[in-house]
Amino acid sequence: MRGFTTSIVHSDRQDGIEHGALHKPVHSSVAYGYEHPQGLVDVFQGKSAGYAYGRQVNPTVAALEAKVTGMEQGVASVCFSTGMAAIGSLLFALLRGGDHFVSSAFLFGNTTSLFGSFAAHGVDVTFVDATGARAVAQAVRPETKLVFVETIANPRTQVADLDGIGALCRERGLVYVVDNTITTPYLFQPADVGASLVVNSLTKYIGGHGNALGGSVTETGRFDWTTFANIQTAYKRSDAAKWAITQIRKKGLRDFGAALGPEAAHHLGVGAETLALRLERQCANAAALATFLHTHEKVRQVYYPGLAEHPQHAKAAALFRRPGAIFGFELVEGVDAFTFLERLDVVVKSTNLGDNRTLAIPVAPTIYHELGPKRRAAMGIADSLIRISAGIEDVEDLVADFEQALA
C-alpha cells in the first residue's frame, strides 16, 4: 500500500480523467442526462453508480469523498456543506426519538449546542468526562445507541480515552463516532481504535487554506449494522458495511439538503494534497510556541498535550503521530489578555483552526459566550483563556511576535 501523501495526490487519477487532467474538474452541472430512460431508472434505484441530481452526489464531490475514504482507511464517505452538517446529518439519520447517546463534555461549542437541540427533539444526551472510559460506561442505558467523542478537545486539549472507549463500544454493541477534525487522519486514524464512523470538518486542516467550508462522515467497516435497529429496510441492501452510510447520504443530503458544492469540493481536494506537509510544520510551530510560553513568567498555564505535565500526555504520545497544532493558555493575574492580543502583529485575531496563518482567539467572550459562565466553568474554560491555532509561518517570527506582545 502506498503512503499517505502519495495516495492523496494520485487519488483523482484512479478512475481516469478526461484529457489526462491531473485534478478532477469542477463539474457544475446539477442534473445528468441519459440516452435511455432505463439508465436513469437504474441510477435512481441504486443499480448503477451514475449521477442524477447534485443534491445527493456530484463527480467533483465524489472525488473528494474517495480521497477522504483513503485518508481514513475507510469503506465509504459522504461529504457535506460543513462539518456541522456532517455531525447533524449523522445523528439525524441514525437516531430516533426515545434513543439516548453519550457524548464527551469537552466538545466544539456548536456541537454542544446542536446536541442540545437533539435533546429538545426527544433524542437524549448525557455529557461525560471522556478522558476515561469508565465515565462513559456509567452513562450507558438500555436505550443508548451511540457514543460521540472528539480526539483532542478544543480549547483545553483534553484527549479522550479513545482506545478504552473503543473497547467499551465493541463490548456493548454501541456505534462509536469520533470527530477527528483536530488530529486529522494524518495524526490519527480512529478506525484503529474501533471507531464505527469518523467525522471531519474539512474546513480546518484538510482544506487548510481557510477558503472553503466542508465536512465528511466516513464509514470504517468496523460496526455490524445488521444489529442496529434504526436502519430502514430500503437501505438494507447488498453490503451491510454500507447500510448506515447510505442512510446518512439519503437523509442528510437527499432529504435534508446539506450538500457540498463542487467549487468548495475542488478547493478542499487541492488543500488535502498538502495536509501532511502543512500539519508537520504546524505541529512543530505549536510545540515551539507552547514550550516558549510554558516557561514564561507572565503565563499561568499552557494546555498542550505535548507537554509532559498534560494529564493525557502519555495517551496522546501513544495514539497520535504528533500532539496536534492547537493549544490554549492563560496569562497570570494582572496581565490583561486583550492588551496582549492587541499587541500581536503576525498572529491574526480570528476564529477558525488549521489555517496556514497562526490564529488567536479569546475563548470565553467569543466561541463559548453563548454557553454562559456555569457551562464554561464545568468545561474548565477560564475567562482569560486564549486559544492558538498554529500556522505554517517561520517559527522565529512567531516566537518573536509572542515575545514582544508579552514584553
Ligand X SMILES: *Cc1c(COP(=O)(O)O)cnc(C)c1O
CB of 289 to ligand X, least distance (A): 19
Name residue 303's beta-bridge partners.
Answer: 328
CB of 345 to ligand X, least distance (A): 26
Residue 102 near residue 46 (C-beta atoms within 8 A): no
61 is a contact residue toward ligand X (CB under 6 A): no
Q: Which residue is nearest to ligand X (CB)?
A: 83
H or E element, residue 42: helix 37-44
Residue 204 near residue 181 (C-beta atoms within 8 A): yes
Nearby residues of 194 by Cβ (< 8 Å), 6 or more positions away: 163, 166, 167, 169, 170, 176, 222
- Closest to 347 measured CA to CA, from 294, 287, 388, 383: 388
Which window, 128-136, 165-173, 174-182, 387-395, contacts ligand X (CB under 6 A)?
174-182
Question: In terms of CB distance, is 208 or 235 closer to ligand X?
Answer: 208
Cell match 452510510: residue?
245
Question: In terms of CB distance, is 203 or 358 closer to ligand X?
Answer: 203
- Closest to 8 measured CA to CA, from 188, 197, 185, 203: 185
Question: In terms of CB distance, is 215 or 261 closer to ligand X?
Answer: 215
353 is a contact residue toward ligand X (CB under 6 A): yes
Burial 69-86 (b: 16+ CB within 10 A, else e): bbbbbbbbbbbbbbbbbb
- Closest to 304 measured CA to CA, from 288, 319, 281, 280: 288
Question: In terms of CB distance, is 161 or 179 closer to ligand X?
Answer: 179
115 is a contact residue toward ligand X (CB under 6 A): no
User: How far apart, in Å, do the first and last CA atoms of the chain sit?
Assistant: 51
Q: Which of 27, 204, 249, 267 binds ligand X (CB under 6 A)?
A: 204
CA distance 336 to 346: 19
Question: In terms of CB distance, is 111 or 246 closer to ligand X?
Answer: 111
181 is a contact residue toward ligand X (CB under 6 A): yes
Residue 199 near residue 182 (C-beta atoms within 8 A): no
H or E element, residue 219: strand 215-219
Residues in 214-253 at the binding interface with ligand X, rule: CB under 6 A: 215
Q: Which of 72, 99, 124, 179 binds ligand X (CB under 6 A)?
A: 179
Residue 396 near residue 339 (C-beta atoms within 8 A): no
Which window, 45-53, 163-171, 179-187, 222-230, contacts ligand X (CB under 6 A)?
179-187
Residues in 145-164 at the binding interface with ligand X, rule: CB under 6 A: 150, 154
201 is a contact residue toward ligand X (CB under 6 A): yes
Q: With contacts defined by CB under 6 A, how many residues of the chain interact with ligand X? A: 16
Which window, 178-186, 247-255, 267-275, 371-379, contacts ligand X (CB under 6 A)?
178-186
At residue 36, the 3 state secondary structure works out as coil
Q: Which of 92, 101, 106, 108 binds ligand X (CB under 6 A)?
A: 108
Question: In terms of CB distance, is 201 or 247 closer to ligand X?
Answer: 201
Question: In terms of CB distance, is 92 or 235 closer to ligand X?
Answer: 92
CB of 153 to ligand X, least distance (A): 8
Q: Which of 8, 84, 90, 325 binds ligand X (CB under 6 A)?
A: 84
Residue 380 near residue 156 (C-beta atoms within 8 A): yes
Q: Footprint of ligand X on this chain (CB under 6 A)?
A: 82-84, 108, 111, 150, 154, 179, 181-182, 201, 203-204, 213, 215, 353
